[in-house]
Structure 1
Amino acid sequence: MPELPEITALGAFLTEHAADDPIAFVQPAAMGLLATVQPPIGALVGGTITAVGRHGKFLDITVTGGASPEPLHLILHLARAGWLRWSDAMSTAMIKLGGPIALRVRLTSGSGFDVTEAGTKKSVTAWVVADPMTVPGVARLGPDALEITFDEFAALASASAAQLKSFLRDQNLIAGIGNAYSDEILHTAKLSPYQAGKRLTEEETHRLYDAMRSVLTEAIERSVGQEAARLKGEKRTGLRVHARFGQKCPVCGDTIAQVEFADRTFQYCPTCQTGGRTLADRAMSRLLK
């Protein structure tokens, strides 16, 4: 799933490649993609992309001009398997429904982008709105992970009974962090994914906050400036524990362990994070039955 650094990088890429190039054609091609009806998505045609930003893990493409007297925002949530694929020479063919392409935006220069989604479960969502805060998911977001102050962060952590893994991923508390970077942040902070936020010491809270800022900032620095097609690979190369089950921890050399749930997994280093203990998970529970 694209997280804060990748969404930031995609925004920078679109700003560089698509700004001030009027939109010539827009076609949604996935059932359930559009979560809004008015204004229609066709109102984007004729307008130009004047800004690209983000709200947590939501991409916000501002389009000015065209059929609307006021700027419109194309809000995209790429979910788990969505991505943005850029082309300098976009196809003029109509998209077949039900395929990997969820949305096509072609610019007057002939370039443009497809929003794609791998797999059969389709979760990518788009909104066309005048105010991003009318998108429920955006309105519910907590403070941004790179804008929250330490005092705000400490207050949220001390009030949370949730495990740190869940605390960091809760978009209503802190916006922008998903499964991959929460693993990286906890590894950098040397904290167990199962520790409760309210049980953190002041020193541990500082470590967690500093790790969050450094991991995300370094990931942005690696990602911004990369071609959109290279961002997934760039993300993988920068990860130290996430998706590296069975490999050696780059800090201590221990074998990276994994916790398995019904719909996801996460990774951690027993030596760096849990005092050498292996955390219980769904797979372990099955073995013990």
Structure 2
Amino acid sequence: MPESPEVQALVEFVAERAVGRDIAGFEVLDYPEYKTRAVMPSVLAGCRIVAVSRHGKYVDIDAGEHHLVISFGRGGWLVWHDDGETDAHGGDAEEAAGAIVDAPAVASVALSGGSGFDVIDTGGYRSVGLWIVDRPTEVPGVAKLGPDPVDPAFSRESFDRPIVGRRKQLKAVLQEQTSFAGIGNAYSDEILFVARLSPVIHASELSEEDRDRLFDALRTVPRSAIDARRGIPLDRLKQAKIDAMLVHGRAGEPCPNGDGTVHDFTFAGASAQYCPECQTGGVIL
């Protein structure tokens, strides 16, 4: 699932190429993934893109009177093309998509000058969401978003509010979009590893020192990841994310700190990777 660092890199990529250009056409190819049925997709035709931004994991294409909001869910992504023939890096658009070449397009945006992009769904099931709204907050998921840890305005008060006193496992709290926008399964593992905290400890059990470490990790891990992803071609962002992980997806490998072996723990239909020596006092979950 794309999380805030990869979505931010995508947003900056698209903004650089699309802002100031007109939408020549917007075609929905899989209507179950289009959520605002009362609004015809054709309303975007002729609109000029004035900004592209991110709300948590959502992409917001600001076209003046209308906003095209995209949620990639678990398997969605975006493929850019120029003149319908090449991607923005000079290669064949399908070849550039690599492993996602066979993924079906959910929707397609054509821009003035011939460029554009397709929203695809690689998951084998419908996980993408598309909305055309007057304001991004008309999308329920956007309206409910908590503070974003990469926002310069993110404060200790913003952090404490969903953490202090919560009798809920820490990894689950970090992934709640109503608590912290943009953090998902992978980066929650990374944040907890850097903070040296167990994924299953209840937030209410954290000491002040624990909360200090978590607050620092919650800010620095995704911010560093955003810096590292900038400039990477869209089709390589997923692999760049995988390659950069310290513990997520690395069960059975040595701990990056040299303190033992990374373990996997599955609970409530989700999984976590962690180092027992670093995070759980040597206890295997």
Give the TM-score of the pair, scaled to structure 2: 0.89
**Matches of residues 51-130 of structure 1 in structure 2 within 5 Å?**
51-64=51-64, 71-90=65-84, 100-130=104-134
CA distance in 2 between counterparts of 1:141 and 1:86 reads 27
Counterpart selection for 2:136 from 127, 132, 135? 132
Counterpart residue number, 1:141: 145
Contact kept, 8 Å, 1:4 with 1:177, in 2: the verdict is yes
CA displacement at 1:259 relative to structure 2:
1.2
Q: 2:194 is aligned with what amino acid?
A: T
SS in 2 for 1:115: strand
Contact kept, 8 Å, 2:74 with 2:123, in 1: the verdict is no
Counterpart selection for 1:160 from 162, 166, 169? 166
Q: 1:223 is aligned with what amino acid?
A: R
CA distance in 1 between counterparts of 2:143 and 2:3 reads 18
Counterpart selection for 2:206 from 179, 200, 205? 200
Counterpart residue number, 1:233: 239
CA displacement at 1:112 relative to structure 2:
1.1
Counterpart residue number, 1:179: 185
CA distance in 2 between counterparts of 1:267 and 1:41 reads 42
CA distance in 2 between counterparts of 1:189 and 1:77 reads 29
SS in 1 for 2:283: coil
Contact kept, 8 Å, 1:6 with 1:231, in 2: the verdict is yes
1:8-56 deviation digits (Å, cap 9, x = unpaired): 1111000111122211121111131111134322111111221111111
Counterpart residue number, 1:30: 30
CA distance in 1 between counterparts of 2:32 and 2:257 reads 44
Contact kept, 8 Å, 1:38 with 1:128, in 2: the verdict is no
Counterpart residue number, 1:170: 176
SS in 2 for 1:49: coil
1:207-248 deviation digits (Å, cap 9, x = unpaired): 001001110110000112222112112111211000111111
CA displacement at 1:89 relative to structure 2:
2.9
Q: 1:185 is aligned with what amino acid?
A: I
**Matches of residues 216-227 of structure 1 in structure 2 within 5 Å?**
216-227=222-233
Q: 2:144 is aligned with what amino acid?
A: R
Deviates further, 178-187 or 127-136: 127-136
Contact kept, 8 Å, 1:252 with 1:271, in 2: the verdict is no
SS in 1 for 2:62: strand
Q: 2:263 is aligned with what amino acid?
A: A
Q: 1:141 is aligned with what amino acid?
A: L
When the two chains are superposed, the root-mean-square deviation of aligned CA atoms in Å is 1.6
